[in-house]
Chain A
Amino acid sequence: MSTATVSGPDIDSDPDHLRLRGRTLPRWAPLAGAAGAVVVSLLIYLLTPVDSEIQIVLMAALGFVVATTVVSTVVEGGRRARDRFATTLVYTAFLLALIPLVAVLVSVISKGAGRLDAGFFTHSMNGIGARDVGGGIYHAIIGTVEQVLLASVLAVPFGLLVAIYLVEYGRGRISRVISFFVDVLTGLPSIIAGLFVLAFWVLALDQGFSGFAGALALAVLMIPTVVRSAEEMLKLVPNELREAGYALGVPQWRTILRVVVPTALPGIVTGVMLAVARVAGETAPVLLTVFGTNLINSNPFSGEQSSLPLYIYSQAGQPQKFAVDRAWAAALVLIIIIMVLNLAARLFAGRNRLK
């Protein structure tokens, strides 16, 4: 504090009174605070017997937030300090969250890349034990592709019809009930879908484990996603298009099929691709219905199959190094497939935006 404010109302000699805004910290202050917090935490890490990296990171974050807020309260006063507090909190939350998320990707890439060779894609696990080198995901890729395709064939037309009903025809209580149960299905834990197909298809109808049973479970999970995204897209179609169709004497069903759906199609395709990407990574329902095998089985309608998530799960559950290596490599492949599907969906959506 300057002495001028203490000695009296000597306005001219107090620079604070001439400013339009209150005193602020320099722009580099938060950065300096962050650097300081990191350095102090590193020193603590090196000099004291604290052995957990997580703890050090949390301490640095806490130190940064507290120090910045305290300094800001002293220099800038209450309101600005609260703003600083929120800002530092948001920044640290973001940076803290990045650490595990980036770590997941980094470990999958670094640990998975080692096993990614041509043999990994062209071999199954036939005759390969957990302690053996080698083995591959050929059978798992076949399984995943077939199951997801079958699930899409089942779920997409069905979901689209439900969405058309809800948007174009649905009014009154039935559509509200359907809409509510679409939400219920959205929140359905994926393992319940697996249990249901296990109870219904595999046990009650005695159809045995098969890729198709897995596809049924995945379809149950896909339906609500397809319905919701198609619904959103159909709602975006301007009413003028429908009215133009009716004005030309086109019956409603033809208007829907020839005008409304084609207009919304890019968005619907995007939604379907996102739904496909989601179910391709589902493990639990597949575990209960497809059972898993080490052999190549390209017939989804009879006998156990494998799938990529299932493969990861079974290999990760074994404590041997080679098995875990295979799990990482398969995880990398699965992530790449899902990322490609996602990126393709988004690029497609970006190019054909309906507005």
Chain B
Amino acid sequence: MTTEPDRSADAAEQRGAATATAPPEDPPPADRPAVASAGRSRVGTADLVFKNLTRTAGLGLLALIAVIAIFLVLRATHALSANTGDFLTTEEWFPNATPPKFGVAATLYGTVVSAAVAMVIAVPVAVGIALFITVYAPRQLSSVLGYIVDLLAAVPSVVYGLWGLIVLAPHMKGIQLWLNDYFGWIPLFSGDSVGRSLFVASVVLAIMILPIVAALSREVFLQVPIAHREAALALGATRWEMIRTAVLPYGKPGVISASMLGLGRAMGETIAVALVLPASFNISAHLLSPAGNTIAANVANGWGEANDIGRGALIASGLVLFIVAMIVNIIARAIVARRREFSGSSA
């Protein structure tokens, strides 16, 4: 990052508007009054102190992230240098052995697959819920339902994990057997046995992120101008055509970012997965076999008996998760920013 133009702009800010020859700052956001600078020239130190206090807090946030990254990297490199396997491609996880051999491949695979399957299940249903609440349900019912969805979104993941382990997992046996019997020709559903599989974990994750995605999508759909909806209906559109032409295009960026948030939650989810999955370290295309692990669940399961190298190895895998989550985040931001540009909507 180039800091040069930045620094000059900051210096200009500090000197205030008194300096007539200040290099042009970035224009203030349109909705902020420009009078701020007029006030600053008269009032000296207190203003400066307060401003710098808030700015320090802002910079402190950057420092915090830097410290997080640095410490994770430091701890990770220590373990990675002792690793006798290739960290990115090894499936085994024996960081506590001598010599240690571990790799993130299997857990990363489990993380990505379970989160992806959860997304495939949850996002369409969540959009359906949001549409039902905003478009289909009677008005009184819709505000109550909105409330309930918001509350469900706040239910802690450990509760979903507990429920998934004790209530859902036994019920999933039948449908897994059925998928295995009739769709076994698809490699995803083949395999010899079913049980507490990645599929069950994905379903638990899907149920967990469902209210989160639905609550955010609902808020986005509520923002759709009534005029757009009424215009579509006045032109003779059916309700579905109104949704397709007015609600969905307007809400798309919001739904995408809601889904990405859900994806991030699903990938980072630790406890629900740790409770449901029997930890194992192999990459298997069989979604229904009782095997699999995710990065986060592996950290929760493994850190208790980990030695120094073991902890470093877990931190290294956490770093991978951090990077993946960040990439998802950046992609979401890029999509939302681009959509906003093109659609001219403010959502």
Task: Spell out A's residues near B (CB within 8 Å).
Answer: 50-55, 58, 79-80, 82-83, 85-87, 89-94, 96-97, 100-101, 103-105, 107-108, 158, 161-162, 164-166, 168-175, 177-178, 180-192, 195-196, 198-200, 203-204, 220, 223, 227, 235, 239, 242-243, 246, 251-257, 274, 277-278, 280-284, 287-288, 309, 312-313, 316-317, 324, 327-328, 331, 334-335, 338-339, 342-343, 346
Dominant SS among interface residues on chain B: helix
Contact check, B9 vs A173: say whether CB atoms are below 8 A apart: yes
Interface residues of B (CB under 8 A from A): 1, 5-6, 9-10, 13, 25-29, 31-33, 35-36, 38-40, 43, 46-47, 49-51, 53-62, 64-65, 67-68, 71-72, 74-75, 124-129, 131-133, 135-136, 147, 150-152, 154-163, 165-168, 171-175, 177-178, 207, 210-211, 214, 238-241, 243, 261, 264, 267-271, 274-275, 296, 299-300, 303, 311, 314-315, 318, 321-322, 325-326, 328-329, 333
A sample of 30 cross-chain residue pairs with beta-carbon separation below 8 angstroms, ordered by A number, consists of A52-B173, A53-B171, A54-B171, A55-B178, A82-B238, A83-B239, A97-B214, A103-B163, A103-B167, A105-B155, A161-B53, A162-B60, A165-B55, A174-B58, A178-B58, A180-B333, A189-B268, A189-B296, A192-B268, A204-B75, A223-B61, A246-B33, A252-B43, A252-B47, A253-B49, A256-B50, A283-B271, A288-B299, A335-B159, A342-B151
In the complex, the 5 A-B pairs of residues with the closest C-beta atoms, listed nearest first: A52-B174, A189-B268, A281-B156, A93-B128, A161-B57
Which residue of chain A is the closest to B176 with respect to CB atoms?
A52
Neighbouring A residues of B300 by C-beta, 8 Å: 191, 284, 287-288
The closest CB in chain A to the CB of B69 belongs to A196
The reply to whether A284 and B55 contact each other, CB–CB distance below 8 Å, is: no
- Cα(A251)–Cα(B124), bound, Å: 51
Given A80-B238, A83-B240, decide whether A107 and B61 contact each other with a Cβ distance below 8 A. no
With A52-B171, A104-B163, A246-B39 already in contact, the answer to whether A253 and B156 are too (CB < 8 A) is no
Question: In the docked arrangement, what's the CA distance between A181 and B275, Å?
Answer: 31
- Dominant SS at the A interface? helix
Flag if B65 contacts A187 (CB, 8 Å). Answer: no
Contact B315 A195 (CB under 8 A): yes
| CA–CA, A51 and B60, complex, Å | 57
Which residues of the other chain, B, contact A175 by a CB distance below 8 angstroms? 58
**Chain A residues with Cβ under 8 A from B158's Cβ?**
281, 283, 309, 312-313, 316, 331, 334
Q: A55-B175, A172-B25, A189-B269 known; 10 other A-B pairs, CB under 8 Å?
A: A86-B240, A89-B128, A97-B125, A171-B29, A192-B68, A198-B303, A199-B72, A252-B47, A253-B47, A256-B50
Given A91-B136, A100-B168, also A192-B321 (CB < 8 A): yes
